[in-house]
Amino acid sequence: MQTKDLIRQLLINIGEDPERDVLNKTPERVAEFWGYATRGYKVDIDAVLKESVSNDKYDQMILVKDIDYYSLCEHHLVPFFGKAHIAYIPAGKTIGLSKIPRIVDAFARRLQIQERLTKQVAEAIQNVLQPKGVAVVIEATHLCMQMRGVEKHNSVVTTSAMFGVFRENERTRMEFLDLIKISRI
Ligand SMILES: [Zn+2]
């Protein structure tokens, strides 16, 4: 069954009339939206990363913060979204800075839970670069919680994944958290 037919059935199940004026184009629009919102499944993340790896002696922290992302929670198929902050300390290899938001996007544009998204981004960088450390912090607003009234409005959930020196060395971790202005994890 095609996605648009499923959506048409969904409209009927919730008590709507799929033939009603504007609604008759909704199944196609929704099907197209789902293709876009889950396009991350088609991205080969290792390939994206590997084509951009270069040997580099730079050994200070590289930080990309405030990366906007949009994902879909796999419990409710409802959006969660917010900011991702990513840092790593290279050990001989770096990647182009523009690749970092692309990694986030590739993992976010799938059905996700926030914790797994955080870990997958950190592991992808860890595996390709083998850096001295990698740190990922993801802040999220979950519409499934807010719309159901589970959480207070405007509450943001923060998750983190830290490897290497970010895990072992408190000063390095604090420096990172300070740069992204997060006081607690
Ligand atoms: Zn949910």
As residues whose CB is below 5 A from the ion ligand 1, the structure lists 73, 75-76, 144
One domain, residues 31 and 111 = no
Q: Please tell me the distance between residue 140's alpha carbon and the centre of ligand 1 in angstroms.
A: 12
**91 alpha carbon – ligand 1 mean position (Å):** 38
Q: Which amino acids are annotated catalytic?
A: 73-76, 114, 142, 144
Which long-range contacts (C-beta less than 8 Å, at least 24 apart) are formed by 38-45? 38/72, 38/109, 38/110, 38/111, 39/109, 40/105, 40/106, 40/107, 40/108, 40/109, 40/110, 41/109, 41/110, 43/102, 43/106, 43/109, 45/103, 45/106, 45/107, 45/124
Q: Which CATH number characterizes residue 114's domain?
A: 3.30.1130.10
Q: Are residues 82 and 171 in the same domain?
A: yes
Predicted local distance difference test score (pLDDT) of residue 50 = 86
pLDDT number for residue 182 = 76
Residue-level pLDDT at 183: 60
Q: How close is the Cα of 176 to the center of ligand 1, in Å?
A: 29
Is 100 in contact with 86 (CB distance < 8 Å)?
yes
Query: pLDDT value at position 184?
Result: 56
| Domain of 9, in residue numbers | 3-37
Question: Could you tell me the mean pLDDT of each successive run of 10 residues in the chain, 185 residues long?
Answer: 95 96 94 96 90 92 97 96 98 94 97 98 95 97 87 82 97 95 68
Q: Is the distance from CB of 32 to CB of 7 less than 8 angstroms?
A: no
Q: Are residues 84 and 21 in the same domain?
A: no
The pair of three-digit structure tokens given for residue 63, joined into one six-digit string: 């930080």
E strand or H helix at 129, and its extent? helix 114-129
Asked whether residue 87 falls in the same domain as residue 60, the answer is yes
Q: What distance in angstroms lies between residue 131's CA and the mean position of ligand 1's atoms? A: 33
Same domain as 152, residue 88: yes
Q: Please check whether residues 30 and 62 belong to one and the same domain.
A: no
Does 43 reside within a domain?
no
Residue 185 lies in a domain: no
Please provide the distance, in angstroms rounded to a whole number, between the alpha carbons at the two ends of the chain. 44
Could you tell me if 19 and 79 lie in one domain? no
